[in-house]
Homo-oligomer: A and B are copies of this chain.
């Protein structure tokens, strides 16, 4: 068995896992993400990998990063949610660890994992939509990750959806992830709680609107609470609107919905399917992609990054 380490560098935590050739996680460790400190971030990754490899034989390390990764997969060019610095982080870690290291956009990594081991097995043309803090994406075309001309394709969270719309952390306005991500769900839920429109959510959060979480919305919506259901319906509408554009451009066979928000399951899936069918040009006159839920949950990025790096070494 040739195991590889996958590292998921997220906005709140960094997780490292040993992944076997079947995409199974053998062991996983995690730590909080250092804020605004590229050196500390690199040290945490190094420490986590050092810890976990003391207990497992591993051949390579793949780092999934929520950002624009250079075509040579050595550095992060641009990351709205995290600071990776300008250094070739893959080279620095490779030297420090004495193991092959590559960086992969986390959406690409998640798409690869779902295609290889998850909900998209055997479907050569598929789009991954990872709905979490932002919206990540990955595109599998002809059974390969489609990386684009400069390595930064599938940044679907920055589809422009409202001209002069809400400010996005990327510096632009009106990006899709400002309307259809987990953060936007939480933002609207807190606003509703603060404005007295969501008494059940407020109660679930112990009376503090700022403590409302996406999971609370999911839980209450599952129980049929109307305001939480309305919040999901709005999210699904925005997701459908963006998906309609992506389907017009890409015409995928399959769309896999992943990321933390996809844990809401059918609560998300059914209204998104309906919104896509309603919003897409050609409607019933054109074939639509299947839309399904990711199978690997929040581990997809970590599993995919490990597997992709193992493949470089193979």
In the complex, whether A224 has a CB less than 8 A from a CB of chain B is no
Listed by A's residue number, 20 A-B pairs whose Cβ atoms lie within 8 Å are A68-B286, A77-B286, A78-B281, A148-B251, A150-B286, A150-B287, A151-B251, A152-B282, A154-B249, A158-B245, A158-B281, A160-B241, A160-B244, A160-B245, A162-B162, A163-B241, A168-B281, A170-B282, A172-B244, A172-B279
Assess A248 versus B77: contact at CB under 8 Å? Given A170-B281, A170-B282: no
List B contacts of A253 (CB < 8 A): 149-150
**Closest B residue to A156 using CB positions:** B249
Within 8 Å of chain B (Cβ to Cβ): is A153? yes
The yes or no answer to A246 lying at the interface (CB within 8 A) is yes
Within 8 A of B (CB), among A254-292: 254, 279, 281-283, 285-287, 289
6 tightest Cβ-Cβ pairs between the two chains A and B: A148-B251, A149-B253, A158-B281, A150-B287, A153-B251, A78-B285
Q: Which residues of the other chain, B, contact A168 by a CB distance below 8 angstroms?
A: 281
Determine which of B162, B171, B254 lies in contact with A281 in the assembled complex, contact meaning CB atoms within 8 Å: B171
Complex contact B287–A152 (CB within 8 A): yes
Q: Which residue of B lies closest to A173 (CB)?
A: B279
Cβ of A120 within 8 Å of any chain B Cβ, yes or no, is no
* CB-based contact B68/A152 at 8 Å: no
Minimal beta-carbon separation of A248 from chain B (angstroms): 4
Q: How large is the interface on A (under 10, 10 to 19, 20 to 34, 35 or more residues)?
A: 35 or more
Chain B residue contacts of A68, Cβ below 8 A: 282, 285-286
Separation of A140 and B246 alpha carbons in the complex (Å)? 17
Q: A-side interface residues toward B, CB under 8 Å?
A: 68, 71, 77-78, 80, 125, 137, 139, 141, 146-156, 158-163, 168, 170-172, 175, 241-242, 244-246, 248-254, 279, 281-283, 285-287, 289
Q: Which residues of B contact A248 (CB under 8 A)?
A: 155-156, 158-159
Q: Is the Cβ of B281 less than 8 Å from the Cβ of A155?
A: yes
| CB atoms of B283 and A148 under 8 A apart | no
A220 to chain B, nearest CB (A): 27
Which of A148, A161, A253, A289 has the most CB atoms of chain B within a 10 A radius of its CB? A148
A160 to B240, CA, bound (A): 11
Q: A68-B286, A286-B68, A286-B78 in contact; A250/B153 too (CB < 8 A)? A: yes
In the complex, the chain B residue whose C-beta lies closest to that of A242 is: B160
Chain B residues positioned under 8 Å from A279 (CB to CB): 160, 172
Bound-state Cα–Cα, A249 to B150, Å? 12
